[in-house]
């Protein structure tokens, strides 16, 4: 009978993971190790460190997808080697991207959805910047044709996600972020005449304001810009930042007019990896017509065997997320998206109604008319704790909830925002509610007079 023994110098899969050389020392942090490790050992040790991350499903501060079907995971694995920029090598992936563009153009009521242009991006931030660049180029060309100065472009927004501030700084455009007046939570039509002028390249209307989840009134903003054109001769286009609402409104808010049905809306961006239900990270930008995307912004590149047009801030990037987006379109259809988004909205509205019953809260947004989300503040008075303290307390149970001050002119108002995404069931929301009640009871009995808790992040 053969006798087997384990060679202690052997780092093969026969050896226990936690007896390998890699596990006997701290993992390298500042320089590459001299020798490698067995795949199973390296995988386990890295995975162990990731256990210290939060549970994404309990992160109710993020807009991003945290649950996908097993088929999506398999498609992502199948596409791990597909480079989206290489349309010659992966023509069918490029075709799938093209289909998604026209599906979204149709969903957002482009007049000739089969003819218009758009592209995928790494996320809505890049997509927003591409929309802004198209506005700047169109404005500059018009000004040059009129023999006018082109050195002082500006863009007018309400309270926007940080990507628009990056756009303004990176591409030398003044951002005129309208200060919130009174009880306003977003850009209002009456703000436009005070902030727009002949150097305004466009107005950004947000369908799903990051801070609260509300929709800005796109149709009313467009009517005011129409009036300004008649009165002042200013022809200012609208870009709709529909990072989240672009995958909500078409399915459950049919009465809302916000997209290419409005002639003044010339471009729209959205995040596929938010309420579009695709995995991180994919965004989309669509123009109302080919004429809205200046030809000067398109590069024709000889790369890996083909000459291809490209408009992007990135070059090489994975194709799996785009394939997964198309899978969702096929898998769910309009009925499936409607069922999912309506369920999310119903859960958010239920949670808003329940939170309104809790003594210290005053609802800022109750989940009706905007994103599947709620936002609230503490009622006036000394409660012995802040919303920052409450965020810290519920985090002990794994929940991540965003707490932060509102933007310009209302910084004294601190709100807490909860997002309801695909995968956040009514039962899960109920468990959160019970944990919040227990946390409030504890904080009320144990005030925090010298709190050091500060704002939590609000993922855009």
- Sign of the C-alpha dihedral, residues 223, 229, 232, 237? positive
- Torsion angles phi and psi, residue 121, rounded to 5: -140, 180
Tell me the C-alpha distance between 45 and 35, whole Å: 16
pLDDT tier for residue 4 given thresholds of 50, 70 and 90: low
**Residue spans of alpha helices (H) in 180-263:** 192-195, 218-232, 249-252
Q: Which residue has the higher pLDDT, 23 or 246?
A: 246
pLDDT tier for residue 457 given thresholds of 50, 70 and 90: low
User: Is pLDDT above 50 for 106?
Assistant: yes
pLDDT tier for residue 362 given thresholds of 50, 70 and 90: very high
pLDDT tier for residue 14 given thresholds of 50, 70 and 90: low
User: Is pLDDT above 70 for 290?
Assistant: yes
Cα radius of gyration (the chain): 25
Tell me the C-alpha distance between 358 and 176, whole Å: 38
User: Is pLDDT above 90 for 105?
Assistant: yes
Tell me the C-alpha distance between 239 and 132, whole Å: 8
User: Is pLDDT above 50 for 72?
Assistant: yes
Tell me the C-alpha distance between 239 and 138, whole Å: 13
Eight-state DSSP code of residue 58: G
Torsion angle (degrees, nearest 10) of CA 39, 41, 42, 46:
140
Phi and psi based region of residue 384 (left: phi greater than 0; alpha: psi -120 to 50; beta: remaining): left
- The pLDDT value recorded for residue 20 is 85
Tell me the C-alpha distance between 372 and 60, whole Å: 11
Report percent pLDDT > 70 for the chain: 93
- The pLDDT value recorded for residue 458 is 46
Work out the average pLDDT over 432-456: 85
The 10s digit of each residue's pLDDT in 148-177 is 999 999 999 999 989 999 999 999 999 999
Residues in the chain: 460
User: Is pLDDT above 90 for 16?
Assistant: no
- C-beta separation of 361 from 379 below 8 A: yes
Bridge partners, residue 102, by sequence: none
- How many Cα atoms are found within 13 Å in the side-chain-facing hemisphere of 131? 36
Which helix (H) or strand (E) covers residue 439, if one does? Answer: helix 426-445
Q: 200: exposed, middle or buried (C-beta count within 10 Å: 0-12, 13-18, 19+)?
A: buried
User: Is pLDDT above 90 for 13?
Assistant: no
Which helix (H) or strand (E) covers residue 306, if one does? Answer: strand 306-310
- The pLDDT value recorded for residue 315 is 84
pLDDT tier for residue 459 given thresholds of 50, 70 and 90: very low
Q: What is the DSSP string of 171-187?
A: TT-EEEEPPP-TT--S-
pLDDT tier for residue 7 given thresholds of 50, 70 and 90: low
- Sign of the C-alpha dihedral, residues 195, 110, 280, 392? positive
Which helix (H) or strand (E) covers residue 301, if one does? Answer: strand 299-303
User: Is pLDDT above 50 for 389?
Assistant: yes
Which helix (H) or strand (E) covers residue 419, if one does? Answer: strand 414-419
Tell me the C-alpha distance between 8 and 12, whole Å: 10
Phi and psi based region of residue 328 (left: phi greater than 0; alpha: psi -120 to 50; beta: remaining): alpha
What is the rounded average pLDDT for all residues in the chain?
92
Tell me the C-alpha distance between 163 and 121, whole Å: 14
- pTM for the full predicted model: 0.92
**Residue spans of alpha helices (H) in 63-189:** 70-78, 91-107, 124-145, 162-170
Work out the average pLDDT over 315-330: 94
- The pLDDT value recorded for residue 313 is 87
- The pLDDT value recorded for residue 61 is 93
User: Is pLDDT above 80 for 11?
Assistant: no
Going from the C-alpha of 18 to that of each of 36, 37, 41, 62, 96, the distances in angstroms are 15, 12, 8, 35, 45
Return the minimum-mean-pLDDT range out of 43-47, 283-287, 307-311: 307-311
- The pLDDT value recorded for residue 396 is 94
Strands 174-177 and 154-157: parallel
* Greatest extent of the chain over all pairs of C-alpha atoms, in Å: 100
- C-beta separation of 300 from 308 below 8 A: yes
- How many Cα atoms are found within 13 Å in the side-chain-facing hemisphere of 350? 16
Tell me the C-alpha distance between 354 and 382, whole Å: 22
pLDDT tier for residue 235 given thresholds of 50, 70 and 90: very high
- The pLDDT value recorded for residue 309 is 76
The 10s digit of each residue's pLDDT in 394-441 is 999 999 999 999 987 888 899 999 999 999 999 999 999 999 999 999
User: Is pLDDT above 90 for 218?
Assistant: yes
pLDDT tier for residue 305 given thresholds of 50, 70 and 90: low
Tell me the C-alpha distance between 55 and 398, whole Å: 7
pLDDT tier for residue 23 given thresholds of 50, 70 and 90: confident
Q: Which residue has the higher pLDDT, 198 or 13?
A: 198
Return the minimum-mean-pLDDT range out of 187-196, 234-243, 263-272, 304-313: 304-313
Eight-state DSSP code of residue 56: G
């Amino acid at each position: 009978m053969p006798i087997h023994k384990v060679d202690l110098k052997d780092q093969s899969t026969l050896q226990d993971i936690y007896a390998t050389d890699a596990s006997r020392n701290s993992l390298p942090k500042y320089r590459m190790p001299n020798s490698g490790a067995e795949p199973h050992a390296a995988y386990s040790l890295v995975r162990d460190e990731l256990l210290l991350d939060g549970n994404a499903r309990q992160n109710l501060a993020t807009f991003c997808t945290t649950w996908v079907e097993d088929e999506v995971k398999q498609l992502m694995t199948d596409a791990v080697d597909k480079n989206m920029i290489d349309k010659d090598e992966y023509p069918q992936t490029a075709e799938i991207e093209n289909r998604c563009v026209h599906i979204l153009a149709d969903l957002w009521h482009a007049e000739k959805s089969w003819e218009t242009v758009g592209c995928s991006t790494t996320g809505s931030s890049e997509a927003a910047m591409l929309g802004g660049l198209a506005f700047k180029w169109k404005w500059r060309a018009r000004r040059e044709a009129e023999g006018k100065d082109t050195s002082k472009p500006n863009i007018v927004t309400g309270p926007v996600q940080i990507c628009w501030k990056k756009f303004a700084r990176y591409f030398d455009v003044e951002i005129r972020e309208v200060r919130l007046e009174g009880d306003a939570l977003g850009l209002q039509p009456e703000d436009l005449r005070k902030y727009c002028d002949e150097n305004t390249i466009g107005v950004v209307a947000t369908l799903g304001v990051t801070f609260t989840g509300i929709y800005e009134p796109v149709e009313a903003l467009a009517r005011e810009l129409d009036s300004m054109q008649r009165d002042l001769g200013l022809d200012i286009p609208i870009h709709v930042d529909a990072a989240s609402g672009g995958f909500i409104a078409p399915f459950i808010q049919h009465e809302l007019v916000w997209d290419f049905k409005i002639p003044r809306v010339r471009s729209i961006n959205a995040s596929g990896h938010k309420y579009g239900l695709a995995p991180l990270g994919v965004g989309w930008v669509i123009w109302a017509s080919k004429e809205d995307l200046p030809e000067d912004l398109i590069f024709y590149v000889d790369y890996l065997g083909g000459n291809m047009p490209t408009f992007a801030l990135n070059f090489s990037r994975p194709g799996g997320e785009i394939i997964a987006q198309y899978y969702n379109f096929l898998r769910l259809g309009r009925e499936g998206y409607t069922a999912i988004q309506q369920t999310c909205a119903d859960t958010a509205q239920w949670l808003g109604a329940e939170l309104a019953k809790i003594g210290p809260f005053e609802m800022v947004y109750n989940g009706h008319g905007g994103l599947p989300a709620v936002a609230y503040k503490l009622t006036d008075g000394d409660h012995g704790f802040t919303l920052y303290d409450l965020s810290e307390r519920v985090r002990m149970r794994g929940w991540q909830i965003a707490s932060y001050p509102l933007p310009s002119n209302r910084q004294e108002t601190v709100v807490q925002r909860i997002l309801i995404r695909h995968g956040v069931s009514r039962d899960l929301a109920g468990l959160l509610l019970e944990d919040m009640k227990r946390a409030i009871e504890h904080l009320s009995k144990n005030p925090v007079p010298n709190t050091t808790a500060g704002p939590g992040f609000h993922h855009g």
